[in-house]
Structure formats: structure tokens, C-alpha cells
Amino acid sequence: MIFCSIIIAKACHVFEASTNFLGRNMNEGVKGATLNAIGSSLPELLNTVFFLAFATHQNLGRDFAASIGANTGSAIFNSIVIPLLVILVVLASGNKEISFTKKVILRDGLFLLGAEFLLLIFLSSLYLTHWHGWIFVLFYLVYLSYTLFSSKTGINNKKNYNDDNPDSWFEKYQFKSEKYRVLRSWVLLTISTLIIALGCAGLVEGCKGVADSLGINPLFIALILVAAASSVPDTIISIKDAKKGNYDDALSNVIGSNIFDVTISMGLPLAVFLLISGNKISFRDESATIIDIRFMLIAVTIITLLIFYFNSKMKYKHAMYLAILYIIFILYVIGAANYYKGSNSLLAKVAGSFIEFLRQPGGIGEFLQDIANKITQM
């Protein structure tokens, strides 16, 4: 998994150079929410593809739940750790001011919450069919259309990409002449995507191996390790944007990537896989297993959006708040994993209390399941 993470990180440098040139005419905030977000979320999409492709029929529900864990964990990592690193990097560089446009926070934040509530309800179903996946895809297309049509195309600015003194081999290839720069950028984009795909295949197999050796559900390994590894592209792109002063692009890449993770990365592979196979996934046990993670995702999103929206300038104390929030998440995941193993540790008891509250008869879990089943049967 470590080796695959390094491979993905290296390929992401090539990917970022390609998308930076191809999106040179987009307004700040739009490129981050579209090109950067789609591109940097490819690992999450491919993780779902390989979790489904490598799953046996017996473990189909379990492995798809693990892919949901990877996407959910990646979204939480994006919401907390990437802004944390962006704040630290910018402030450490001597820049004492970092702020985000509230319009970008509202636009992308409300769509993100909508996608997460859709995830909360639909994954409460007793079984999943391909049309569940298509609804997630449709939601993303609505978001993408709104983002593109609500913003005007910017003016071509040569400084948005590095063609003056290319240092790396891929930049020298990309900018070696004025002619065919777009074509060469697409070539680099395609090659880097294929390399990222190979890295993701290794991540999925590594996740299962670690989970089997520890005797726990792959979901909990995916929530932390796979999620962090697949978020490398988002981290690289957001930090580079922040160093250039493009703070809105840095944030919109994070939120846009999360929308992509929750909808396309999960929905598209699910829709295609179940449409081709003609099957459906029994999701009764898995739905109950991940209900707490879905609530955790919504809670983290609301908290981070409030931090970004109600503070005009980001400071070190805000980075500390985000760090504490992520530590709480990590401890909860460890506690939940131990709870399902039957441990009586303090973390297991705390996590277990929350899980049992959500799953109690006549509680929130059953309420969501009833709603999901009614929608499914329509």
C-alpha cells in the first residue's frame, strides 16, 4: 500500500501539470470544482471499480461497503486534513492572510450536503440496484451543469501554467513547442491516469490483505489508509493552488472532489456493474454497519463549512481545530473496528454506544431504512 501510494503521488504531478494547462481559461473556483476535482478524484473512482471487480459474489456487499468507506474516508480527509495543510503551508510561507470566498463555500457546500443526505438515505436500503447508482450520477451532472453555467469563462493567462522554465521531463515534453500542446497534455493526462489506476488496484488488494491479517472488516482499513492514499492528488493540487494564492480553487477542489467521491466515484461503478451483471446487492447488514460513518461524514462537513464560512481569515488556531477533529475521527474508527471485534476497550464502548443508538429498534436506522425502501419500491 505504501509503494502504491508513492506511485499515485508521482503520477499526480504529471496529472496536475496536464489539468493546469487544459483548464487555463477557467475562472478561479471553477477549475478547482471541475477539472481538478474530477481528475484528483480518479483514485476514489478506480478504488470502487476494483473493489467491485475483485469481489466474489459472497463478499460483494462487504467489498462495496469497503469502497464506500474509502470514498467516505477520503471525503472526511479532504474536508479536514487538506484545508489544515493548506493553512499551515500558507501561514508558514509568511503570508499572514488566507481567506475563502463565501459564494464558493455556499455553492459547493450546499451541493455537498445534498449529496451526503442522498447517500445517507439511499444506502439505508435493504438492497441496491443499478438505478441507485444512476441517481447519484444525475445529481453530479446537475451540480456540474450549475457550476459551469453560473460562471463565465475567464481570460487566457499565460502565468496560470509553467511554460517558461520547465524543470521536469513531462513539462519539457508538454511545452517543447507551441504546436500540439493540448494534444500532448491529453497524452500525459491519459498516461498518468493509467498509472494511477494500477496504483489503486494495488491499494485495494493491500487493503484486503491488511484487513484479513488483523481479522477486521476491510471497511475500517479503507476509511483511514485507502482514503488517505487516494487523497494524495487532492492534497497536491490544493497545496499548489494555495501557494499561488488561488485559495478559492484550493477549497473548491476539496469540496468538488467530495461531491465527486460521494456521487460519481461510488454511483457510476455501481450503476454500470449492476446493469451489466443484472444483479442487485443485498445491503441489509452493510447498511447497518456504515450508518454511523454516514452520520460522521455529514457532521464533519457541517463543522468544517461553518469554520470556513464564519471566519474571514484562517489562522493557526483554525488548523488546530481541524487537527483535533481528525484525531477524533481516527479514534472513533479504531473504536468502531474494535467494537465489531467484540472488544471491551474504552474506545470500543464509546463507538459502540453511538452505533447501538443509531441501530436501536424504532430508531434512526429503521426510520431511514423505511424511507429508502419506500423509494426503492416506487
Is residue 302's pLDDT more than 90? yes
Provide φ and ψ at 150, rounded to 5°.
Answer: -90, 0
| Complete domains list, the chain, with CATH | 2-119+128-282 (1.20.1420.30)
pLDDT (mean) for 128-152: 85
**Quick one: cell of 184?**
500532448
The reported pLDDT for the residue numbered 90 is: 86
Higher pLDDT: 261 or 26? It is 261
What is the spatial distance between Cα 146 and Cα 149, in angstroms, rounded to a whole number?
A: 5
What is the average per-residue pLDDT within 200-218?
Answer: 84
Residue 212 vs residue 161, higher pLDDT: 212
pLDDT in tens, 84-115: 998 898 888 877 678 788 887 888 889 999 99
pLDDT, averaged across the chain: 83
* Model confidence at 157: pLDDT above 50: no
Q: Is 346 exposed, middle or buried (0-12, 13-18, 19+ CB in 10 A)?
A: exposed
User: Which residues, other chains included, contact 155 with Cβ-Cβ below 8 Å and sequence gap of 6+?
Assistant: 25
Say how far apart CA 118 and CA 1 lie, in whole Å. Answer: 31
125, pLDDT greater than 90: no
Poorest-pLDDT segment among 34-38, 91-95, 159-163, 249-253: 159-163
Q: Is the pLDDT of residue 11 over 60?
A: yes
Q: How far apart are CA 186 and CA 19, in angstroms?
A: 9
In this prediction the pTM is 0.83
- Count other Cβ atoms within 10 Å, centred on residue 311: 14
Is the predicted pLDDT of residue 196 greater than 80, yes or no?
yes
